[in-house]
Structure 1
Amino acid sequence: MKKHVNIPIFLPQYGCANDCIFCNQKTITGKKGNPTLLEVRDTIDLRLKTIKKEETEVQIAFFGGNFLGLPQSQQKDYLSVAQEYIDFGFVNSIRFSTRPDSISENSLNYIKAFSVKNIELGMQSMDDEVLLKAGRGHTAIETVEASKLILEKGYVLGLQMMLGLPGDNFEKLMQTAKYIVDLGASETRIYPVLILKDTHLEELYRRGLFQSLSIEESVEMVAKLVHFFKENNIKILKVGLHPSEAYTSENELVAGPYHPSFYELVLTQIWKDRLGKKLKTFNKEENILIRANKFEINSFVGHKSSNKIWLKENYPNAIIKLDESLIKGEFVIEKI
């Protein structure tokens, strides 16, 4: 199977006229504008130099804004540049992210001449109360209708969700996750809410009207979401924000569950949960051999060896051994 690589073209929130509670419009509008077509070409050319095409499926990915909210002339300009690389065989297809309320027969018909394969919807939640409090400007039913239309037109559907929005809770999160499966999505992204400067959310936070999730709470919730999505064969494209996306270099982050190795913490929690569940049938003083697969040994041992430390504290006579015969996802616990 070929490795998948995205060549990201970042459109900093352009095409989005909405003012979501978590979105830093002042900072965004003060940033550099949309990339020129020359800059897009330079980005693609530079990235292609590092890719072995015969081993890789390459997508040009327009991220960061509401792509279908851009003027159609601008959509055409960007898509035309991407299409040139596809026509010459350097790139396989295109993906972009957009809002549910930007999906229509007209908007999808406009792009059908281009090799768009994946469309990601920033749905964030499927609870109307949460959407209203977040100032999303669309409803859950619009996500349902947009998802159906995307699939009817033959595109691969991706649905993005957030956790920690005002009015949200774990029950609502799981309901949103179930919708992602039921609506026919093939992939998802999971983003914990961060509080950025000059947002409505910061104002609520400063007034004591909103409390962000802790890293520990977020990790525990996301671990359950990841487990659920994997059970339902939903590809997880991303969990948490990359350091550059979290505005950490510009001191824009006020509060929230940001960690540079967030997904590593999540994988650590998943393996700790799996270990803990199986170890309940063993006496804590027994001599135990735990055989782990080679593919996930780092997550098994845990971030900064936290699972190994937890194991030593709770099962002092347990030994971890690498077993190359085990496949990904497998581990075995036995008495010795």
Structure 2
Amino acid sequence: MKHANVAIFVPHNGCPHQCSFCNQRTITGQMTQPLPQDVRNAVQIAKNSLHSDTKNAEIAFFGGSFTAIEPGYMVSLLEAAAPFVKDGTFAGIRISTRPDCIDEDVLKLLKGYGVTAIELGAQSMDDRVLQLNKRGHTAEQVAAASELIRSHGFTLGLQMMTGLYGDTVQGSKLTARKLSALHPQNMRIYPTIIMRGTELGEKYLRGEYQTLNLEETVQLCAELLDFFEEQGIRVIRLGLHSSPELEWDMLAGPWHPAFRELCESARMLRNITGYLKQNPQLQGSIMIKVNPKTVSKAAGQKKCNLTALAQMGYCVKIVQDADVLENCFTIE
């Protein structure tokens, strides 16, 4: 079974700062705060639908800065989830929080309630970009919190954003290298989407800010995806989840409902064209063998990769071959 989360959103609760890009209630599609009974209900529903496969699933608190919310409320949510972990029904609890809201006492408390994975919203490792976007923490705090989390035996996840106010493509690549050096087990990459009701939204409407376009972002994130996977770091999310609220409040930005598919297709095309350049003897009609799970990535959305290769003079036939590793290819 693929890894699964029982996602419980705690929208914007506990965050001590109003970041320039953040409209958390829109992003999560949720306005109200969950109660402990809501947690129990959500987990029980998931337990019934997943049946025996829950042993591979986590209960995940997302959407805010979990360790910064009122301590009594945080503990009440953990107490509602913990029994499902302690009896072995679920694999663990995952939370997301800020780098400046982690310390020894918090980690001991989380460990006691069965939390197994902690994700930090780093967003950038450039202090200038962090300050411009009013993150309220530094790159050094990201590094210190990451080391503390790993030293206590938690799975470490990190989150970064591309296209932030004041950032560049090269800046995002540098952030990726610095985050990789912190040895997270997984990453989430979120392109900046300009939302109504945010500081970036106001800057955009005044003509003071424009984030990367979709094509630029796809090419950048395809490269970041390659980089993290080469480091043995799993990218578990590329782009924001689709929701009616997101689409309604979005002013601009590189959002696409199949953003990860676009990135994986772009990566596949780049790798194929790179291979063809290194092997100029391959001309005219060629056959590209891929794993059955990789066919759509090789062809590209609406067969855009096949079109691009045709424009380069290649007549391509894609053939399924289960012996080829996923996301790899052979060419004849």
**3-state secondary structure, aligned to 1:74:** helix
| TM-score normalised per structure 1 | 0.93
Q: 1:54 to 1:165 in 2, by over 3 A?
A: closer
Q: Which residue of 2 aligns with 1:300?
A: 298
Q: 2:3 and 2:168 mapped to 1: Cα distance?
A: 34
- Which of 234, 245, 255 does residue 258 from structure 1 map onto? 255
**3-state secondary structure, aligned to 1:43:** helix
The CA deviation string for residues 263-312 of structure 1, in whole angstroms up to 9 with x for no partner, is 11101100110111011233685332222222211111111111122222
Q: 1:63 and 1:30 mapped to 2: Cα distance?
A: 12
Q: Is the 8 A contact 2:29 2:244 kept in 1?
A: no
Q: CA deviation at 1:25?
A: 6.7
Q: 1:207 and 1:178 mapped to 2: Cα distance?
A: 33
> Amino acid of the residue matched to residue 128 of structure 1?
D
**3-state secondary structure, aligned to 1:201:** helix
> Amino acid of the residue matched to residue 188 of structure 2?
R
Q: Which residue of 1 aligns with 2:122?
A: 123
Is 1:211 matched with 2:217? no
Q: Is the 8 A contact 1:13 1:28 kept in 2?
A: no
- Shifted more, 177-186 versus 231-240: the winner is 177-186
Q: Which residue of 2 aligns with 1:317?
A: 315
Q: 1:9 and 1:242 mapped to 2: Cα distance?
A: 14
Q: Which residue of 2 aligns with 1:136?
A: 135
> Amino acid of the residue matched to residue 307 of structure 1?
N
Q: 1:231 and 1:27 mapped to 2: Cα distance?
A: 34
- Shifted more, 30-39 versus 259-268: the winner is 30-39
The CA deviation string for residues 91-121 of structure 1, in whole angstroms up to 9 with x for no partner, is 1210100000001122212223111110000
**3-state secondary structure, aligned to 1:112:** helix
Q: Which residue of 2 aligns with 1:278?
A: 275
> Amino acid of the residue matched to residue 23 of structure 1?
C
Is 1:145 matched with 2:156? no
| TM-score normalised per structure 2 | 0.94
Q: What is the percentage of aligned positions where both structures have the same residue?
A: 37
Q: 2:45 and 2:106 mapped to 1: Cα distance?
A: 31
Q: 1:255 and 1:157 mapped to 2: Cα distance?
A: 31
Q: Which residue of 2 aligns with 1:193?
A: 192
**3-state secondary structure, aligned to 1:21:** coil
Q: Is the 8 A contact 1:284 1:315 kept in 2?
A: no
> Amino acid of the residue matched to residue 286 of structure 2?
I
Between the two proteins, the alignment pairs up a number of residues equal to: 331
Q: CA deviation at 1:314?
A: 2.0
Q: 1:209 to 1:285 in 2, by over 3 A?
A: same
Q: 1:148 to 1:222 in 2, by over 3 A?
A: same
Q: Is the 8 A contact 1:122 1:161 kept in 2?
A: yes
Q: Is the 8 A contact 2:29 2:243 kept in 1?
A: no
> Amino acid of the residue matched to residue 225 of structure 1?
L
Q: CA deviation at 1:247?
A: 1.4
> Amino acid of the residue matched to residue 116 of structure 2?
K
Q: After superposition, where does 1:69-218 map in structure 2 within 5 Å?
A: 69-218=68-217
Q: CA deviation at 1:167?
A: 1.4
Q: 1:285 to 1:92 in 2, by over 3 A?
A: closer
Q: Which residue of 1 aligns with 2:2?
A: 3
> Amino acid of the residue matched to residue 147 of structure 2?
K
> Amino acid of the residue matched to residue 277 of structure 1?
G
Q: 1:118 to 1:31 in 2, by over 3 A?
A: closer
Q: Which residue of 2 aligns with 1:327?
A: 325
**3-state secondary structure, aligned to 1:84:** helix
**3-state secondary structure, aligned to 2:140:** helix
Q: Which residue of 2 aligns with 1:42?
A: 41
Q: 2:114 and 2:196 mapped to 1: Cα distance?
A: 38
Q: Which residue of 1 aligns with 2:15?
A: 16
Q: Which residue of 1 aligns with 2:228?
A: 229
Q: 1:26 and 1:333 mapped to 2: Cα distance?
A: 47
Q: CA deviation at 1:27?
A: 6.2
- Shifted more, 163-172 versus 23-32: the winner is 23-32
- After superposing on structure 2, the runs of 4+ consecutive aligned residues of structure 1 that deviate more than 4 Å are 25-31
Unaligned runs of 5+ in 2: none
Q: 1:98 and 1:156 mapped to 2: Cα distance?
A: 14
Indicate the RMSD between aligned Cα atoms, in angstroms.
Answer: 2.0
Q: 1:108 and 1:330 mapped to 2: Cα distance?
A: 40
